[in-house]
A and B are shown apart, each in its own frame.
Chain A
């Protein structure tokens, strides 16, 4: 039996406090890339009761994604946008979800992201991360941007960090561990980095961030 919207709101308010929860409900967060980072960020934010999630990824679920991404074996071949929408709606049925199954490029970024209060960069390719970060910081300088870089391999969990690079721009990860060095991606360490990104979103929205 799926709880009513009122029951879900009440449960979230009990956990986070009414004032904080109202800030979460009022927020729109965009997630760029729905792989190991993005799908895990989305689950955290949907559970926390963020009002609206904008999910962007051109790709489909592949068997090689299942070891770290929040998809199910039966969803192989589906667009990640639709598969994740379905999974999030099972977890948090009253979160508003907007999806775009498109490849992000300099020309469409502003249009896709202009409604977002906070943007999470969650791509896997380094040049795509750089392209998104450069474009957002140039074209949407008032929007908070949180990016992830460096979470490959079996290195220490404790080396994944969040730091403020500049006003409105945060970077999560160890900034070193490159998947191209042949060290692979492990679910636990990717989830740590995703959790850093999601936590920075919630911390900023809650107003608890130390300036």
Chain B
């Protein structure tokens, strides 16, 4: 299982890009942290999630 924003999801083996494609996240408005480190956008495709990973997707909204 992979923990994403606190929820355990059965997505081990998927890349971050594949996971995000299955969600409603707008990729231009997010930052992805995995096990305490930022995942560079250029590495979403090659970063494969494994059991025990903890991921947080921060999704920004407009206004300032």
Q: Do A and B bind each other?
A: yes
Taking a contact as CB atoms closer than 8 A, the residue among A130, A150, A152, A190 that contacts B31 in the complex is: A130
State the CA gap A171–B31 with chains docked (Å): 12
State the CA gap A129–B62 with chains docked (Å): 8
A35 at the interface (CB under 8 A from B): yes
Given contacts A130-B31, A134-B40, 11 further A-B contacts (CB under 8 A): A36-B63, A36-B64, A37-B64, A122-B64, A124-B63, A125-B62, A126-B29, A127-B60, A134-B41, A138-B38, A180-B62
Q: Which of A167-206 contact B (CB under 8 A)?
A: 167, 169, 171, 173, 175-180, 185, 190
Interface residues contributed by chain B, number (CB under 8 Å)? 19
A149 at the interface (CB under 8 A from B): yes
B36 / chain A contacts, CB cutoff of 8 Å: 166-167
**Min CB–CB distance A86 → chain B (angstroms):** 22
Number of A-B contacts (CB under 8 A): 84
State the CA gap A129–B26 with chains docked (Å): 13
State the CA gap A173–B58 with chains docked (Å): 12
A180 / chain B contacts, CB cutoff of 8 Å: 61-62
Q: Are B28 and A130 in contact (CB under 8 A)?
A: yes
B26 / chain A contacts, CB cutoff of 8 Å: 126
A134 / chain B contacts, CB cutoff of 8 Å: 31, 38, 40-41
- Considering the complex, give the chain B residue whose CB is closest to the CB of A139: B40
**Min CB–CB distance A151 → chain B (angstroms):** 6
B58 / chain A contacts, CB cutoff of 8 Å: 133, 149, 165, 171, 175
State the CA gap A64–B58 with chains docked (Å): 29
**Min CB–CB distance B37 → chain A (angstroms):** 7
A133 / chain B contacts, CB cutoff of 8 Å: 31, 58, 60
A148 / chain B contacts, CB cutoff of 8 Å: 64
Q: Which of A72-131 contact B (CB under 8 A)?
A: 122-127, 129-131
Q: Which of A148-164 contact B (CB under 8 A)?
A: 148-152
A36 / chain B contacts, CB cutoff of 8 Å: 63-64
Residue in B29, B36, B61 whose Cβ sees the most chain A Cβ within 10 Å: B61
Known: A138-B38, A138-B40, A166-B36. Contact between A130 and B29, CB under 8 A? yes
Known: A127-B29, A130-B28, A165-B56. Contact between A179 and B62, CB under 8 A? yes
B59 / chain A contacts, CB cutoff of 8 Å: 175
State the CA gap A147–B38 with chains docked (Å): 15
B53 at the interface (CB under 8 A from A): no
